[in-house]
Amino acid sequence: MNLADGIALARAVAVLPVIVLVATGSDTLALVVFAAAALSDAIDGPVARARDEVTARGEWLDPLADKVLIAGTLAALAARGLVPLWALVIVLGRELAAIAVRSRSPHPLPATADGKAKTVLQALAVAMTLLAADAGSAPVAATAAIVARRRRISGVSCAARSLGR
């Protein structure tokens, strides 16, 4: 395993302490761990390219790590009632669909600007939720609606690319 793949794997594994911290109400510490993990997404790709270590494993591990971090954190927030269940269902549904499309594609589907924007918006929405953990879910629902719209655009783009269009 190369350094970039290790960074992506660490991002996925970071969801475990985030879930525990959210479950115990340690929202500030959960935010710190989540933010560090989310920011690592900006590092692994450049590291792989700089070291000439871009691999097929990295191409699927990087987006999978993002999905695990976001979905796991959202599930923990939903379990505490801080995120509406419908937002979690939208995120999980889109992510499962993206995994299915990527796994069935005859060619690799590298990250696109839409997908990167979706990941950034998701991470911001989760971070804002952790910041506003005591404020209830009304501001979170508005943020989740924005993220859901962006996810739809990204999902359509991913499906079209898998068909070679």
Q: What is the pLDDT of residues 24-77, one digit of tens each?
A: 999 999 999 999 999 999 999 899 999 999 988 888 899 899 999 999 999 999
CB burial of residue 50 (10 Å; 0-12, 13-18, 19+):
exposed
Alpha helix positions (H), 3-84: 3-13, 15-23, 27-39, 41-50, 56-79
Mean pLDDT computed over 116-128: 91
CA distance 24 to 19: 9
Band (9; pLDDT cuts 50, 70, 90)? very high
| pLDDT of 137 higher than 70 | no
